[in-house]
């Protein structure tokens, strides 16, 4: 412990922590911009400057460690002036079109100008780079004119996801963050995970906005049929200003009905359906000497990653489609027939925590219903914008149940939202199918939590099934190294591209680890509160197999609910 003085307050703090951490522990707020609590210290924006007694230079609080006897001023006139001057330099290169920026109201730079009470005019020639906005990606819009070069996105993509789609080009005043060699985003190895969007403090990286398409379809008289992914009910309230982890399935359905959606279905149903197909596929592979380990394919960012970096190993991917892509054809066939609606007249919409789902629904394999199976995939952020736009007072809405015939899904479907959830859901079903016994303890704690690699073993009537769970593509790359080397001694691996699983997905409200933890707890609580917690036991699953699909892995199921993968290695050339 060392004794320091911050703004006249004497503090005892741990040796070696930064001035910023020390100040926060004393409730002293130092403004920051490039700093992100889940990332490495960057110390480049030079906003969090403080004055240290005895030093001529101002120091960045985010990186400067405290030492015994240090006397710090966080808001002296010298500091305030320097911060404003630095902010002025940032603003001089920024377009400042805040009023029509997608980040309006959620922008850290905007917040900072308020905090620093920046009211004087910019003294420099406004030098806005003439870069073009890159809208080539299905999922992410890149506007380099707004970039403040904090490099958070580079870290998220390169260190976190080990991909490195974007990086710095040139140096000095000409530095920008771009894909290499003038490529557009859709020409790169980008897997559309949206982790860059999650960390961008400004409007340089935002989610491709598809909300206009919803209005157009409403206007043209289409029947809007929506499926709502498991994590959405946990994060939509947060996106509308409530505490992270506030579940709001009932209010969400009400809001969507107010927005004009005709049917709002629970995608826990299709998660359950995925478990049926994927679970039986696993058993089939184990029994009949199929390719093992089998790896989950629910995550479209992970699937593209595998197709790009490990094209020879796509045979390890489960052929079962993701819940989104299972629900798509089910809506345009089974549901359309049942309700005597012309599938051509259906606009099938998914509400997702995910930016990569926009890419997935546009894959050419995804037309098994005879139409594009899912027409539009919206993220939580976009839906929240629509709710705000419509003036809906979300906090006070009454609750509405999800529509039939799919009703309420199981707790197993619900936990798809968190890393390890697909695995746990599968184990709940596979165990009972194989052993014929009722699973006593439904919670598989070994596969929960935020460890990089989680492993478990389950005894299925004498056959020991070994499973592994990874989240984040860095961890996925690691486990694929083992798969290639033949040392991945597992039967089944769950991979989710985003840290924490879908609950940490790129389409959710801006997050940090604290929020992801709160959301995850909420997910498991909702699982515990659901009446049915195993996929194979819900009425909707029983009914659809009885009325329509026959049994898992049937011809019809294969046609509608399974898919194939391609080789994208060329993206690396």
Q: Does 2 bind other proteins (CB under 8 A)?
A: no
Q: Does 57 bind other proteins (CB under 8 A)?
A: yes
The question of whether 298 is a catalytic residue gets the answer: yes
Q: Strand 346-352 relative to strand 223-228: parallel, antiparallel, unpaired? A: parallel
Torsion sign across C-alpha atoms 503, 505, 511, 514: positive
Q: Does 104 bind other proteins (CB under 8 A)?
A: no
Q: Does 301 bind other proteins (CB under 8 A)?
A: no
Helix (H, G, I), strand (E, B) or coil at 195: helix
Helix (H, G, I), strand (E, B) or coil at 365: coil
| Residue choice 3, 9, 12, 175 for contact with other proteins (CB under 8 A) | 175
The question of whether 158 is a catalytic residue gets the answer: no
DSSP E strand boundaries for 443-507:
453-460, 463-471, 492-496
Spatial separation of the C-alpha atoms in residues 231 and 215, rounded to whole Å: 24
Minimum distance of other proteins from residue 167's CB (angstroms)? 4
Minimum distance of other proteins from residue 496's CB (angstroms)? 21
In the bound state with other proteins, the residue whose beta carbon lies nearer, of 157 and 408, is: 157
Q: Tell me which of 103, 146, 321, 357 is the catalytic residue.
A: 357
Q: Does 255 bind other proteins (CB under 8 A)?
A: no
Q: Tell me which of 155, 360, 414, 432 is the catalytic residue.
A: 360
Residues with Cβ within 8 Å of 278's Cβ and at least 6 positions away in sequence, in order, are: 296, 318, 320, 422, 426
Q: Does 76 bind other proteins (CB under 8 A)?
A: no
Contacts 24+ apart (CB under 8 A), 108-113: 108/33, 108/201, 108/202, 109/33, 109/148, 109/201, 109/202, 112/31, 112/33, 112/47, 112/87, 113/87
Q: Tell me which of 21, 88, 135, 365 is the catalytic residue.
A: 365
Residue carrying structure tokens 């049929």: 225
Quick count: other Cβ atoms within 10 Å of Cβ 248?
Answer: 22
Helix (H, G, I), strand (E, B) or coil at 52: strand
Q: What binding mask, one character per residue, do residues 10-49 give for other proteins by CB under 8 A, x or -?
A: -------------------------------x-xxxxx-x
Angle (CA) 363-415-360 rounded to 5° is 5
Q: Does 530 bind other proteins (CB under 8 A)?
A: no
The question of whether 155 is a catalytic residue gets the answer: no
In the bound state with other proteins, the residue whose beta carbon lies nearer, of 93 and 562, is: 93
Q: CA dist 360 to 364, 399, 508, Å?
A: 9, 31, 17
- Whether 349 and 214 have beta carbons less than 8 Å apart is answered as yes
Minimum distance of other proteins from residue 183's CB (angstroms)? 6
Minimum distance of other proteins from residue 472's CB (angstroms)? 16
The question of whether 502 is a catalytic residue gets the answer: yes
Helices 108-115, 77-92: crossing angle, 10 deg rounding? 140
Helices 380-389, 232-239: crossing angle, 10 deg rounding? 50
Q: Tell me which of 318, 322, 348, 350 is the catalytic residue.
A: 318
Q: Does 65 bind other proteins (CB under 8 A)?
A: yes
Contact stretch for other proteins (CB under 8 A) within 125-133, 237-245, 274-282, 453-461? 125-133
H-helix segments, 397-442: 411-414, 421-435
Minimum distance of other proteins from residue 74's CB (angstroms)? 15
Site size for other proteins (CB under 8 A): 53
In the bound state with other proteins, the residue whose beta carbon lies nearer, of 164 and 405, is: 164
In the bound state with other proteins, the residue whose beta carbon lies nearer, of 91 and 346, is: 91
Q: Does 58 bind other proteins (CB under 8 A)?
A: yes
Q: What binding mask, one character per residue, do residues 176-215 give for other proteins by CB under 8 A, x or -?
A: ---xxxxxx--x----------------------------
Count of alpha carbons within 13 Å of 84, Cβ hemisphere only? 17
Q: Does 165 bind other proteins (CB under 8 A)?
A: yes
Burial class (CB in 10 A: 0-12, 13-18, 19+), 544: buried
The question of whether 365 is a catalytic residue gets the answer: yes
| Residue choice 1, 8, 27, 56 for contact with other proteins (CB under 8 A) | 56
In the bound state with other proteins, the residue whose beta carbon lies nearer, of 134 and 368, is: 134
Spatial separation of the C-alpha atoms in residues 217 and 504, rounded to whole Å: 30
Phi-psi group of 253: left, alpha or beta (phi > 0 → left; psi -120 to 50 → alpha; rest → beta) = alpha
In the bound state with other proteins, the residue whose beta carbon lies nearer, of 149 and 214, is: 149
The question of whether 281 is a catalytic residue gets the answer: yes
Active site residues: 278, 281, 298, 318, 357, 360, 365, 502
Binding site for other proteins (CB under 8 A): 41, 43-47, 49, 56-58, 60, 63-65, 78, 81-82, 85-86, 89-90, 92-93, 123-125, 127, 132, 148-149, 158, 163-175, 179-184, 187, 572-573
């Amino acid at each position: 412990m060392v004794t320091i003085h911050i703004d006249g307050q004497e503090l005892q703090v741990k040796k070696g922590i930064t001035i910023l951490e020390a100040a926060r522990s004393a409730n002293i707020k130092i403004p920051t911009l490039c700093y992100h609590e889940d990332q490495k210290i960057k110390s480049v924006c030079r906003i969090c400057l403080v004055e240290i007694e005895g030093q001529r230079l101002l120091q960045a609080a985010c990186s400067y460690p405290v030492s015994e006897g240090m006397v710090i001023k966080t808001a002296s006139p010298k500091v305030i002036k320097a911060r404003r001057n630095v902010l002025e330099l940032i603003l001089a290169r920024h377009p400042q079109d805040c009023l029509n920026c997608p980040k309006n109201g959620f922008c850290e730079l905007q917040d900072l100008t308020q905090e620093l009470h920046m009211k004087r005019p910019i003294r420099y020639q406004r030098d806005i780079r003439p870069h073009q906005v890159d809208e080539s990606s299905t999922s992410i819009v890149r506007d380099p004119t707004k970039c403040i070069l904090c490099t958070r996105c580079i870290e998220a993509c390169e260190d976190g996801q080990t991909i490195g789609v974007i990086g710095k080009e040139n140096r000095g005043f000409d530095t920008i963050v771009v894909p290499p060699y003038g490529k557009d985003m859709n020409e790169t190895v980008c897997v559309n995970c949206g982790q860059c969007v999650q960390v961008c403090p400004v409007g340089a990286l935002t989610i491709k906005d598809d909300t206009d398409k919803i209005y157009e379809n409403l206007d043209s008289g289409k029947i809007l049929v929506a499926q709502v992914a498991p994590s959405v009910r946990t994060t939509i309230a947060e996106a509308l200003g409530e505490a992270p982890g506030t579940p709001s399935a009932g209010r969400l359905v009400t809001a969507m009905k107010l927005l004009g959606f005709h049917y709002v279905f629970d995608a826990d149903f299709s998660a359950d359906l995925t478990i049926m197909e994927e679970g039986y596929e696993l058993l089939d592979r184990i029994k009949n000497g199929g390719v093992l380990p089998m790896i989950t394919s629910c995550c479209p960012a992970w699937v593209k990653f595998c197709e790009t970096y490990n094209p020879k190993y796509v045979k390890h991917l489960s052929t079962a489609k993701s819940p989104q892509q299972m629900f798509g054809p089910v809506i345009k066939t089974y549901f359309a027939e049942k309700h005597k609606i012309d599938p051509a007249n259906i606009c099938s919409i998914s509400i997702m925590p995910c930016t990569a789902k926009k890419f997935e629904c546009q894959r050419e394999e995804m037309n098994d219903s005879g139409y594009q199976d899912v027409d539009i995939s919206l993220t939580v952020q976009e839906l929240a914008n629509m709710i705000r736009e419509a003036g809906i007072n979300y906090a006070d809405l009454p609750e509405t149940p999800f529509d039939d015939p799919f009703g309420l899904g199981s707790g197993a479907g619900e936990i798809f939202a968190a890393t390890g959830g697909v695995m746990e859901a599968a184990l709940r079903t596979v165990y009972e199918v194989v052993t014929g016994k009722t699973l006593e303890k439904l919670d598989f704690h070994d596969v929960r939590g935020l460890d990089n690699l989680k492993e478990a073993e389950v005894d299925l009537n004498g056959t020991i099934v070994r499973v592994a769970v990874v989240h984040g593509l860095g961890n996925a790359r690691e486990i694929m190294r083992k798969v290639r080397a033949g040392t991945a001694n597992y039967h089944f691996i769950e991979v989710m591209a985003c840290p924490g699983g879908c609950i940490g997905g790129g389409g959710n409200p801006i997050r940090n680890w604290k929020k992801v933890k709160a959301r995850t707890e909420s997910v498991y609580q909702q699982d515990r509160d659901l009446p049915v917690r195993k996929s194979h036991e819900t009425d909707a699953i029983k009914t659809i197999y009885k009325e329509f699909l026959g049994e898992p892995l049937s011809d019809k199921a294969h046609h509608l609910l399974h898919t194939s993968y391609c080789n994208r290695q060329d993206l690396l050339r």
